[in-house]
Structure 1
Amino acid sequence: MRTIPRLSLLSVCIAAAAAHPATAQTGPATLPPEASVGGLYVTSQSPDPWVFCRGPDAIAPFAPVRPGAGSPETSETIIDFDNLQADEESGHSIFEGDVQLERGTQWLGTDRLVYVHEEEDYLAEGNVRYQDASLRMLATRAEGNTGLEVHHLDQVRYQLLSQRGNGGADTVDVRGVLSTLHGASFSTCDPVDRKWELRARRLDLDQDEGEGVARGVTVRVGNVPVLYTPWLSFPLDDRRKTGFLYPTVGYDNELGLDLFLPYYLNLAPNYDLTLTPRIMSRRGVMLGSEFRYLFGPHSGTVEAWYLPSDDKARDPALRGSDRYEYRIGHRTVFNQQWYGLANVHRVSDPRYFEDFSVTTADRERAFLESNVGLYGRGRYWTTSIEARDWQITDALIADSAEPFMELPRLRFNYDRPLGDYLTVGLRSEAVGFRHDIRSEGSRLDLKPYLRADFAGSWWFLAPQVAYRHTQYELDAPVRPGGDTSPSRSVPIYSVDGGLFFDRDVEWFGRSLINTLEPRLFYLRVPYRDHSDIPIFDTRDLLFSFPQLFRDNRFSGADRQADANQLAAAVTTRLFEPGSGRELGSLAVGRINYFDPPRIPPTSPATVLNDSGSFYVVDANVAVSDRWSFGSSYQWDPASERTQLNTYRIRYDFENGGLVNAAYRYRRDLLEQTDISAVYPLSPSWRLVGRWAYSLPDQSTLDATAGVEWQSCCMAVRVLGRHYLRGRYTGNLDNAEKGNAIYFELELKGLGSFGRKTDDLLTRSILGYTR
């Protein structure tokens, strides 16, 4: 074994793999880059390839990496061979036999290597093999000049090691940083099972510019060409480049064929623009745009969608009008303590989401929020000043029900320990409420408090005293002859305490730990008259187990509930002693009123009894690693009727599937069943579906069914959906429904085509993952 001068052939061989672009990484100094394959660019927000799986090597390993091998840039080249013919006059060295060259982690093998020292020409013939940490390659012949960095390789086959992918090229020509591949191919599928493949007649690669140009490109699924383009360009690294992004397509019975064709414009390192025509066969063409920017501490996104003269709007009042949506999101970081946020979101009309949204979350919106604010935090304090506005996005909601604008809302919270046991704090806010229809006003709310925290290994006790003062300035009194400057001041006393007991138990032959956790919470709040106090942003809280231990049954400061009550609850749990995993829990509790509450609810639907709250029961059981069960139950002792009842059960299949079944009942409001499942038919095929049904209406709320197929390199999903076009309000008599079909094709490592359905399935099927 001998050492000779470094041969650049080792590094040049990597060019054969350049047909596969590098995966983009987000850099701190610029906007998130675009990752692309085959000339269609995918924004950093878009790629979500279904999971790869390991397959057999397309090319078997040639030689193990020598222990302690250094970097190729700093290592000398070591050559091993069977025979050497050296001619000093001609300056030729001919290595024959099992020729192996090694430089750090790079390795090259061939049957015969000819090297001309003075001209720096070389010729490698017969079984040319190359490998490093990221690439394994075969070629029948390689020749070139190491000094001029000119190289030619014939019949190349390669396999990527740092990521899944393999392919080949008829020839590879390298001239410095420029490379040309003829008859190139790439796929993430196994060579013996080519489910899809990208082929290009010619690839020109420029490493300095980070750009590749392909000619005569075909994407084949099986043996069927599904995409052809005579010319395209793509990036070779994380530099972004102008070009088309992957299109998405879907079908809706109202919109018809729904096609998105985004085009990305790389305007500068710190800002870019994406233009997206949305072609709806039954509604026309809507133009969308997204502008992203990053200027030092300032960053943000401006999005807009616009459809002129919508002559086919379902609402006659909107026909012929322009339909639009825009969103502005901005963030500025001033220093470690202070930052600013802005989120402005508006649509042209209340039926916009109902007509054009592609997500379930948008269709279920009742109000659209916009806000801008400045936020700060220190060791013991947090503060913010915000302006907030709302827009109604449900045509069934009256203008008078729109929430008040908050211009502005100033908050300051302080929480500081005093020694080992005491904490002093303040909750405060000042708000100006504005409305186009309703009477306006301002509110100041102050709540200083002092809390003591005592605890041991089996007990805790936390008494607290607070004082709440709320002051208003109103444009008009709440009632005739009322006060335009009402106020309310009230002390709040509470004591929270609990015990922890545990014991060892045997359950179905398993050794477990069983805990018993009784808890008492006493609350005393004197009654104050609220007849002159308006309701700006306050609502009844939905009753649940955590509400047993709150000092107010309202959200917002317009109502402070009077109380002379004791909440009693007990929780028992089962734990595995080693892992701490909770196998089951049961919690039961109720609030007992010593004095009947005098502050009425803000909603007539809220039930309030004189003697106490509902009994509330929460239960959760993990019967095994596959079966789990949960239930919440509320019983009204005054009417001796069930107020709320929910059951949910889940089963996880061994091969990744699951089934969820749920029943939901809330008295005088809803009664529904909900069944969802991911059912594997085989390692490659699985069914997905969800059916939500309203029992009082005897009608379907949402039904989704589809099939997924995936291999290690390709995945397909087809879904059909029947759904409500707006929110469910407890009555389906006037509800409008829609039908949609979604198709998604994922060529793993290349990109996806079709409508993204992750949001839909994640929201619909608890526990769903790709």
Structure 2
Amino acid sequence: MTRKLPPRRLLAVAAALALIGGPVEAMGGTPGQQRKSSLDGSEQVCPLGSFHCPPRPYNYAMCRPNAMLEFYDPTLSRDSSLRDSSNTYVTAQHVDSSDRTVYHLSGDVRLERADQRLQADTADYNDETTDYDARGNVRYQDAGQLLAATRARGNNDASTGTADDVRYQMLDSRGNGTASKAQMFDADHTRYSRATYSTCDVGHHLWEFRGKSITVDKDTGRGVARNATFRVGSVPLIYLPWFSFPVDNRRMSGFLYPTIGHTSRSGYMLSTPYYLNLAPNYDATLDPRVYTLRGAMLDTEFRYLLPGTSGMLDVQYLPNDHGQTDPLATTDTQGTRRYLVHFSDSTHLWQSWNFNTSINRSSDNSFYYDFGSNLGGAPVYALASGAQISGGGKWWNASLGGTAYQNMNPFLTDASLPYRQLPYANFNLDLPLNRWLEFGMANQFTAFRKPGFVEGSREDIQPWVGADFGTPGWFVRPRLAYRYTSYQLSNGYRDYGYYGLLGSGTTTPFTQKSPSRALPVVSVDSGLVFDRDASLFGQSYTQTLEPRLYYLYVPYRNQDNLPLFDTSLMSFDYWQLFSTNQFSGADRQMNANNLTAAITTRLLDDGGVERLSASFGQIRYFAPQKVQMPGGKVTDWSGSSYVAQLDLQLSDRWRLGSSYQWSPNTRRTDMAMLQLQGRLGLDGVVNFAYRYRRGLMEQYSASAVYPLSERWRLIGAWTYAKPVKGVVNPLKGTIEALAGVEYDSCCVTLRLVDRSYVNQGYYGVVPPRTPGQTNLRDNAVMFEVVFKGLGSTGGQIDPLLHRDILGYQ
């Protein structure tokens, strides 16, 4: 028979039986749901060509579609918000209530309300005291969980209860296990006796916790296991008298994934980080490591978030290094204390003003060479430390600060460091005068310091006025600027002058203590935009044609008496066609009487996606290029290199990017780049690249993440350099080779990566070693195990793969 009861009555018994707790934020798909193609927008996929990709979410699609407790009903509502407004329906073969207070239900008892369902062989319920007693094949399901027991009893109003012989499953957070007894002390606190917990498939636990007791606190989102063993298969791996683990996505203290690695500089490494959730606004991570060739290290990271202030302190400390020092290193580190300190802070002062600090210091310049990031990352030759006060308004911004550097190349002296900027100040203004006219300024003051080199201060002032005329179909943007740069030199400026960042010098002394330079900078930028409907291979597109002319005039000023504090010649590319200066920094301003002609065409599909972009341009010179770096020659070319670039979105899965420069003066290729990226299936990506710059480099690279199956992915990256004539100690041969494999299952991910690479310290600046030792190669191996649902995502391998493989997730 079926009977309708008022809300919040009998099915409240079912709510009390939910001993695990309510639903939590989903970490995977609905049980049994197959993964959709990431290209249909159902998953967060890294767009082609992106340099920063979101983390790959946990993949639970390979879990068994039917790995549910046997009474799971996928047709039951998943909307828990309707509970309070829904009626409760009770079905049983027999209902007996002589006093209409105590109800005796028997024979296939079923109670349903919204997303909740309780089933049992028999059930007793007291409507006055809200005591309940369900017996025989007790089953409960709601939007977030399943629970089975032989018997459950308790009090609904007090949210207390006890269940025997429990099997449970969290539908959204994947947790499941068994317990001999479950006790609910209130709505948020539950204890399980002789219990297990895992995020693997029900009945197929690749790993699990077994504890004498497991308590779940929904207030804190934590589970605590006591007298527990962590097992892989049936093998006890670790005994833990006390262990805390998450039951939702909130932060909590506990061990993060351990990492095992090996490098030729430091030996085998074991890392066992422990996360401390000290408070909602600050936390810490303790990462004790053991290096077999160097000793024990402690890496401590502390993060804080206070009103108006946030920051981080990271300290790596090795009390006694018993490893070997490289024979060519400038510092002997054997038997010494070694450390690396990173501190960053951002503090709001008042209104729009902020104070930012970044302090980075090391005990010696071999720290990154010996330890690096275990797998080795991008070479770090200098550690920068600085502090800055900055602020701004609608039309202006300003900053005041200082920057210093520490040498981190063990094979070079401090002469290789950039100049310290102690202090510097910047003020920039961009003020609209009316709808088409604006006035601005770019002002900079810097004091440059470097022992043993010419020092001094520099003021660079650039007021300008510009106009912007046009419509969506055309534009004309004239601009007039005046640049004044002056110096106050010190520290032996009459004895010698040094140029460049690596300390290459000249015997010609500076003859003025206060040299200066003043000149106007005049430019006119103009262009047209045409568009039309076009058809290609049966597809409709909008094609644009965008011709552009850019005229630049800067009179010549002899600048040989000006030092080079922070200036170098920039690489020529398409955007240099429209730049007012080919030098970085303020120590050199090129002379110009140039006209740039360029044209761009684009193909846009009906959705507005740019499928093709092609550009071509050249600068025509009406005056010789007299301003050069030391050692450079005056050029009297009639035109610059021809510059072309092409970006082609071949499909939703393939993208091609290329650029090319050809010099009509030397009749040789100055630069060439080709990059092809494609998606392989759902989780794969492949990249091919070729890079060439005449007289500097010629490199080939390939990288891929190749999905062999839903569970297995191969990972690889390779970079090869051809020798370049005229470059001292050029990089040649295989610069880097990386190979790895990733295994993904329902509840465990395994990663193994091996990387062979040219270590920092070479790169054209190390004196040649004995034959067979000139490459300064290093090798690193790392193994990582991720137990899904037990802590943070990612690990130490992910940052390297993101850097080496474009589009890696």
Q: Same fold (TM over 0.5)?
A: yes
Cα 1:370–1:305, aligned 2, differ >3 Å: closer, same or farther?
same
**Residue type of the alignment partner of 1:517:** E
1:717 aligns with 751
Q: Does the Cα contact within 8 Å between 1:298 and 1:330 map onto a contact in 2?
A: yes
Larger mean Cα displacement after TM superposition, 455-464 or 609-618 = 609-618
- Alpha-carbon distance, 1:193 to partner: 4.5
1:158 aligns with 168
Q: Distance in 2 between matches of 1:608 and 1:9?
A: 89
Q: Distance in 2 between matches of 1:124 and 1:751?
A: 36
Larger mean Cα displacement after TM superposition, 186-195 or 725-734 = 725-734
| Partner secondary structure for residue 528 of structure 1 | coil
Q: Does the Cα contact within 8 Å between 2:80 and 2:143 map onto a contact in 1?
A: no
Deviations 1:390-425 (A, max 9, x none): 112123444223111112211111112222211111
Identity score, percent: 41
Larger mean Cα displacement after TM superposition, 524-533 or 707-716 = 707-716
Cα 1:345–1:741, aligned 2, differ >3 Å: closer, same or farther?
same
1:42 aligns with none
Q: Distance in 1 between matches of 2:102 and 2:261?
A: 65
- Alpha-carbon distance, 1:600 to partner: 0.8
Q: Does the Cα contact within 8 Å between 2:624 and 2:634 map onto a contact in 1?
A: no
Q: Does the Cα contact within 8 Å between 1:17 and 1:158 map onto a contact in 2?
A: no
Gaps of 5+ in 1: 25-45
Q: Does 1:726 align with 2:760?
A: yes
Q: 2:549 aligns with which of 517, 520, 529?
A: 520
Deviations 1:634-673 (A, max 9, x none): 2222222222122222333234423222222222222221
- Alpha-carbon distance, 1:344 to partner: 0.5
**Residue type of the alignment partner of 1:582:** E
Q: Does the Cα contact within 8 Å between 2:261 and 2:374 map onto a contact in 1?
A: no
**Residue type of the alignment partner of 1:501:** F
Task: Output aligned runs, 1:367-516, within 5 Å.
Answer: 367-475=382-490, 476=493, 480=509, 482-516=511-545
Larger mean Cα displacement after TM superposition, 632-641 or 209-218 = 209-218
- Alpha-carbon distance, 1:704 to partner: 0.6
- Alpha-carbon distance, 1:269 to partner: 5.0
| Partner secondary structure for residue 14 of structure 1 | coil
2:212 aligns with 201
Cα 1:178–1:458, aligned 2, differ >3 Å: closer, same or farther?
closer
**Residue type of the alignment partner of 1:765:** I
Q: 2:570 aligns with which of 541, 564, 572?
A: 541
Deviations 1:674-693 (A, max 9, x none): 11122222222221111111
| Partner secondary structure for residue 19 of structure 2 | helix
Q: Distance in 2 between matches of 1:444 and 1:163?
A: 60
Gaps of 5+ in 2: 28-53, 498-507, 724-730, 769-773
Q: Does the Cα contact within 8 Å between 2:720 and 2:734 map onto a contact in 1?
A: yes
**Residue type of the alignment partner of 2:13:** L
1:332 aligns with 347
Q: Does 1:699 align with 2:726?
A: no
Deviations 1:278-300 (A, max 9, x none): 10111111122122233321221
Deviations 1:105-145 (A, max 9, x none): 54433332112456653210133222333223222221123
1:115 aligns with 125
- Alpha-carbon distance, 1:543 to partner: 0.7
1:614 aligns with 641
Q: 1:737 aligns with which of 777, 782, 785?
A: 777
- Alpha-carbon distance, 1:449 to partner: 0.9
| Partner secondary structure for residue 365 of structure 2 | coil
Cα 1:242–1:676, aligned 2, differ >3 Å: closer, same or farther?
closer
2:51 aligns with none
Cα 1:178–1:683, aligned 2, differ >3 Å: closer, same or farther?
closer
Q: Does the Cα contact within 8 Å between 2:623 and 2:636 map onto a contact in 1?
A: no
2:661 aligns with 634
Q: Distance in 2 between matches of 1:560 and 1:702?
A: 38
- Alpha-carbon distance, 1:489 to partner: 1.3
1:189 aligns with 200
Q: Does the Cα contact within 8 Å between 2:510 and 2:561 map onto a contact in 1?
A: no
Q: 1:581 aligns with which of 600, 609, 621?
A: 609
1:27 aligns with none
Q: Does the Cα contact within 8 Å between 2:9 and 2:127 map onto a contact in 1?
A: no
Q: Does 1:144 align with 2:154?
A: yes
Q: Does 1:595 align with 2:606?
A: no
Deviations 1:453-509 (A, max 9, x none): 112232211111111111221113556462211221111100111122333333333
| Partner secondary structure for residue 475 of structure 2 | strand
Q: 2:297 aligns with which of 269, 286, 303?
A: 286
**Residue type of the alignment partner of 2:368:** F
**Residue type of the alignment partner of 2:20:** A
Larger mean Cα displacement after TM superposition, 133-142 or 223-232 = 223-232
**Residue type of the alignment partner of 2:808:** Y
Q: Does the Cα contact within 8 Å between 2:295 and 2:322 map onto a contact in 1?
A: no
**Residue type of the alignment partner of 1:158:** Y
- Alpha-carbon distance, 1:323 to partner: 1.7
Larger mean Cα displacement after TM superposition, 373-382 or 746-755 = 746-755
| Partner secondary structure for residue 51 of structure 1 | coil
Cα 1:573–1:72, aligned 2, differ >3 Å: closer, same or farther?
closer
Larger mean Cα displacement after TM superposition, 507-516 or 431-440 = 507-516
Cα 1:663–1:754, aligned 2, differ >3 Å: closer, same or farther?
closer
Cα 1:631–1:178, aligned 2, differ >3 Å: closer, same or farther?
closer
**Residue type of the alignment partner of 2:627:** I
Q: Does the Cα contact within 8 Å between 1:248 and 1:754 map onto a contact in 2?
A: no
Q: Does the Cα contact within 8 Å between 1:409 and 1:432 map onto a contact in 2?
A: yes
**Residue type of the alignment partner of 1:725:** N
Q: 1:570 aligns with which of 581, 584, 599?
A: 599
Cα 1:681–1:608, aligned 2, differ >3 Å: closer, same or farther?
farther
| Partner secondary structure for residue 309 of structure 1 | coil
**Residue type of the alignment partner of 1:539:** S
Cα 1:420–1:269, aligned 2, differ >3 Å: closer, same or farther?
closer
Q: Distance in 1 between matches of 2:203 and 2:345?
A: 50
Q: Does 1:12 align with 2:8?
A: no
Deviations 1:257-306 (A, max 9, x none): 21122344455554444332210111111122122233321221111111
Q: Distance in 2 between matches of 1:402 and 1:244?
A: 40
| Partner secondary structure for residue 320 of structure 2 | strand
Q: 2:796 aligns with which of 756, 762, 765?
A: 756
Task: Output aligned runs, 1:137-286, within 5 Å.
Answer: 137-146=147-156, 149-176=159-186, 178-191=189-202, 193-206=204-217, 212-234=223-245, 243-265=254-276, 267-286=278-297
Q: Does the Cα contact within 8 Å between 2:711 and 2:744 map onto a contact in 1?
A: yes
Q: Does the Cα contact within 8 Å between 1:21 and 1:234 map onto a contact in 2?
A: no
Q: Does the Cα contact within 8 Å between 1:670 and 1:730 map onto a contact in 2?
A: no
2:715 aligns with 688
TM-score, normalised by the number of residues in structure 1:
0.89
Q: Does 1:3 align with 2:31?
A: no
Cα 1:481–1:518, aligned 2, differ >3 Å: closer, same or farther?
closer
Cα 1:466–1:190, aligned 2, differ >3 Å: closer, same or farther?
same
| Partner secondary structure for residue 676 of structure 1 | strand
Q: Distance in 2 between matches of 1:165 and 1:607?
A: 72
Deviations 1:168-208 (A, max 9, x none): 32321223365321232333333264433333332134556
Q: Does the Cα contact within 8 Å between 1:548 and 1:591 map onto a contact in 2?
A: yes
Task: Output aligned runs, 1:29-68, within 5 Å.
Answer: 50-53=58-61, 55=63, 56=65, 58-59=68-69, 61-62=72-73
| Partner secondary structure for residue 164 of structure 2 | strand
- Alpha-carbon distance, 1:235 to partner: 6.0
**Residue type of the alignment partner of 1:701:** I
Q: Does the Cα contact within 8 Å between 1:635 and 1:643 map onto a contact in 2?
A: yes
Q: Distance in 2 between matches of 1:551 and 1:301?
A: 39
| Partner secondary structure for residue 689 of structure 2 | strand
- Alpha-carbon distance, 1:758 to partner: 1.1
- Alpha-carbon distance, 1:546 to partner: 0.4
| Partner secondary structure for residue 16 of structure 1 | coil
Q: Does the Cα contact within 8 Å between 1:250 and 1:754 map onto a contact in 2?
A: no
What is the aligned residue count?
744
2:694 aligns with 667
Q: Does 1:767 align with 2:796?
A: no
| Partner secondary structure for residue 14 of structure 2 | helix
